[in-house]
Amino acid sequence: MRRIAIVLLILIVAGVVAFFALTRPDTSDGTAPLIAGAPPNADPVARGAYLARAADCVACHTVPEGGKPFAGGLAFKLPFGTIYSSNITADPETGIGNWTDDQFVRAVREGIRNDGKHLYPAFPYTSYTELSRADVLAIKAWLFTQPKVRQENRPNDLGFPYNQRWAMAFWNAAFFRSHRFEPDPARPPAWNAGAYLAGALGHCSECHTPRNFGFGLKHGDALAGEVVNGWRAYNITSDGVHGVGHWSDEALAQYLRTGHADGHASASGPMGEAVAHSLQYLTPEDTAALVGWLRTVPAREGKDPVVVDPKPQAMLASSDAAPGGDKQAGAMGSRLFEGACASCHQWNGAGQQTPYASLAGTRGVNDPGGANVTQAILQGVNMRIGERDVYMPAFGHAYSDAEVAALANYVIGHFGGKQGEVTAEDVARRRAL
């Protein structure tokens, strides 16, 4: 018994040592590569404004309709409950107005609030951990120039045990490593800038990388695609079939700047928000750096890969487009498209009046599961790019689940040449997100 007790004691001590070793923060300041839009000799507030946009802070900390900038309250619906973003204005009582520099840096890079409690990884500190201290404080300096908003943080709606913040320490030990960005000396400066923009600032992996059973990122399958709030964040690896390897540099840059690339895609949902709030404001040099880095992301097929047929030889007949050859559903989809969609998207998918209405060659219409087609029908599209408003009305309030499914399957069959697999049950589930 004594021997067993000694062994157990050794295991406990080893576990404690391992736990603290795995959760030990990197205390270094870190050094960022040269970002064209935020040179180190620029005014800190001006740098912070550019970096905050590159990090897309406003998208998560502002409620889209009627919310005040950076006051929080945006809902993140996760498999284990709903988390609400926090107020990051300089209000001293409900925001971060009383936070010290060290407290702010710790929250952004380690996921620990000013009161010592852990943040949930819906806040992407798992990516922001690579930011330099100077960049984090530049963002803070800019935030403190913005209007203060007195708005209490909304309590999260999480069931046990997910509502136990202390347990996040164990999640961090398993899935998080505190570290600063490390430039690759074998790569040119622009490549390192692109890596920093995509990783530390843009946190692309948070949406485009699959997650494991514990909601941690599957780094071995980085950027191979994932589903976020019912939308597919597509594969953006260099894979020439399933990723963006076949896109030209010009097409990638066009998409990042405008949310549209001819013959490839038009952004909507969370990606539309990223373009509207963040990516369109990058300098041409930083956009080029991001494109250059994307070119080197290892090719991966990902889960449920989408194969795009830019010019399908035969568009499916209405009945063939519906699952099981349901003629009634096929006719319904065709009728709905004719009545509400054809005037903008056109029967050949080329789009009319705006290139954003083009459908031919997009991954959305080539995805039999129809996640993004369904969500676009339900929620519509509304984003401002430069001086242009990109708008598609939402039809979720007008169409039943069966009608949305029929329309989605018709679009997939007509423009992608594939049989759609969208069911009314799928639509109901996505509608609830």
CATH number of residue 378's parent domain: 1.10.760.10
Asked, for residue 8, whether it belongs to a domain, the answer is no
pLDDT (tens digit per residue) in 92-112: 999 999 999 999 999 999 999
**Whether the predicted model's global pTM rises above the 0.85 cut:** yes
Same domain, 70 and 117: yes
Q: Considering only 64-68, 208-212, 272-276, which range has the smallest mean pLDDT? A: 64-68
Same domain, 198 and 131: no
SS (H, E, C) the chain: CHHHHHHHHHHHHHHHHHHHHHHCCCCCCCCCCCCCCCCCCCCHHHHHHHHHHHCCHHHHHCCCCCCCCCCCCCEEEECCEEEECCCCCCCCCCCCCCCCHHHHHHHHHHCECCCCCECCCCCCHHHHCCCCHHHHHHHHHHHCCCCCCCCCCCCCEECCCCCCHHHHHHHHHHHCCCCCCCCCCCCCHHHHHHHHHHHHHCCCHHHHCCECCCCCECHHHCCCCEEECCEEECCCCCCCCCCCCCCCHHHHHHHHHHCEECCCEECCHHHHHHHHHCHHHCCHHHHHHHHHHHCCCCCCCCCCCCCCCCCCCCCCCHHHHCHHHCHHHHHHHHHHHHHHCHHHHCCCCCCCCCHHHCCCCCCHHHCCCCHHHHHHHHHCEEEEECCEEEEECCCCCCCCHHHHHHHHHHHHHHHHCCCCCCCHHHHHHHHCC
| pLDDT, mean over the chain | 91
pLDDT (tens digit per residue) in 359-395: 988 999 999 999 999 999 999 999 999 999 999 999 9
Last residue of a domain, one of 126, 142, 173: 173
Q: What average pLDDT does range 22-44 have in this prediction?
A: 89
Q: Which of 305-309, 417-421, 425-429 has the highest mean pLDDT?
A: 425-429
Asked, for residue 313, whether it belongs to a domain, the answer is no
Same domain, 168 and 193: no
Q: Give the pLDDT of residue 325.
A: 66
How many Å apart are CA 122 and CA 27, to the nearest integer? Answer: 23
Q: Give the pLDDT of residue 317.
A: 59
Q: Considering only 13-22, 197-206, 296-305, 312-321, which range has the smallest mean pLDDT? A: 13-22
Q: Could you tell me what percent of the chain has a pLDDT over 70? A: 91
Length of the chain, please?
A: 433
Q: Give the pLDDT of residue 330.
A: 85
Q: Given pLDDT bands bounded at 50, 70 and 90, which one contains residue 327?
A: confident
Same domain, 128 and 193: no
Asked, for residue 184, whether it belongs to a domain, the answer is no
Same domain, 206 and 133: no
Same domain, 117 and 74: yes
Q: Give the pLDDT of residue 2.
A: 53
User: Contact 118/165 with Cβ under 8 angstroms?
Assistant: yes
pLDDT (tens digit per residue) in 208-254: 999 998 889 999 999 999 999 899 999 999 999 999 999 999 999 99
How many Å apart are CA 409 and CA 304, to the nearest integer? Answer: 17
Asked, for residue 12, whether it belongs to a domain, the answer is no
Question: Is pLDDT above 60 for 289?
Answer: yes
Residue 102, domain extent = 23-173
Domain count along the chain: 3
Q: Which two tokens stand for residue 131?
A: 């930011």
Question: Is pLDDT above 90 for 25?
Answer: no
Last residue of a domain, one of 144, 173, 202: 173
Last residue of a domain, one of 173, 205, 230: 173
Residues paired with residue 388 on neighbouring β-strands, in sequence order: 385
Same domain, 200 and 332: no
Q: Give the pLDDT of residue 311.
A: 73
Same domain, 151 and 27: yes
pLDDT (tens digit per residue) in 108-131: 999 999 999 999 999 999 999 999
Same domain, 29 and 158: yes
Same domain, 273 and 345: no
Asked, for residue 303, whether it belongs to a domain, the answer is no
Asked, for residue 415, whether it belongs to a domain, the answer is yes
How many Å apart are CA 49 and CA 146, to the nearest integer? Answer: 10
Same domain, 383 and 256: no
Q: Which amino acid would we find at residue 384? A: R
Q: Give the pLDDT of residue 220.
A: 94
Q: What average pLDDT does range 47-70 have in this prediction?
A: 96
Q: What average pLDDT does range 311-329 have in this prediction?
A: 66
Asked, for residue 14, whether it belongs to a domain, the answer is no
How many Å apart are CA 157 and CA 364, to the nearest integer? Answer: 32
Q: Give the pLDDT of residue 18.
A: 40
Q: Give the pLDDT of residue 367.
A: 95
Q: Give the pLDDT of residue 80.
A: 83
User: Contact 178/26 with Cβ under 8 angstroms?
Assistant: yes
Q: Given pLDDT bands bounded at 50, 70 and 90, which one contains residue 328?
A: confident
Q: Which residues have C-beta within 8 Å of that of residue 416, sequence separation ≥ 6?
A: 309, 312, 365, 366, 367
Same domain, 393 and 288: no
Q: Give the pLDDT of residue 7.
A: 40
Nearest to 317 by CA among 306, 325, 309: 325
Asked, for residue 3, whether it belongs to a domain, the answer is no
